[in-house]
Amino acid sequence: MTGRAVFLDRDGVINRAIIRQGRPFPPANLGDLEIPPGVREALTRLKGAGYALIVVSNQPDVARGKTSRETVDSINRRLAETLPIDEFRVCFHDNKDLCGCRKPKPGLLIDAARERGIDLGQSFMIGDRWRDVEAGAAAGCTTIFIDYGYDERRPAAIDHTVTSLNEAAEIILHMGERKCRPLNN
């Protein structure tokens, strides 16, 4: 396997999460969708450095009957039209479904790696919630936590903590540069 990827959570990472009582929620419709400044530029830089950009997102509100799959798909389509994302992988299950694709389980990342020839040890997972970081760690990726100070559990173990996707991109590009440099003899 030679491919490298940056796995990204959707809500709170590439689009703004809707905050209610200190907790993040997905946009309810296209009208609520907002891409924060700097996201497009950060993703373009990562793509230019040779990383596949794969969104891995839990969307349990579909299983809960709070939103439709069509709404989630329309938001993903709009993001794909605007940002240089290679693929969206979505888990529509709820916790009680006990599936292997719902983060913190690493199924979405492992399946993408297998299908695309991605080396998970050379890849990154960026998320704004504990489930994202723990899924990345379980898959063997370097994890980057965007800490927005949500009123919820923090990840148990984090490789890097940042305050924006742009900061995360800087870390990845710096680390990738070091890994690709020839050794001096």
Determine whether 97 is an active site residue.
Answer: no
| Distance of alpha carbon 59 from the chain centroid | 13
The CA distance from 89 to 76, in Å, is 10
Please name every residue paired with 6 in a beta bridge, in sequence order, or none if there are none.
53, 124
Collapsed DSSP state (helix, strand, coil) of residue 168: helix
DSSP result, 78-101: HHHHHS---EEEEE---GGG--SS
Please name every residue paired with 55 in a beta bridge, in sequence order, or none if there are none.
8, 88
Q: Which residues of 4-28 are buried (b: 16+ CB within 10 A; e: fewer)?
A: bbbbbbbbbbbbbbbeeeeebebbe
Determine whether 9 is an active site residue.
Answer: yes
- Which one of the listed residues 9, 86, 94, 159 is annotated catalytic? 9
Residue positions annotated with a catalytic role: 9, 11
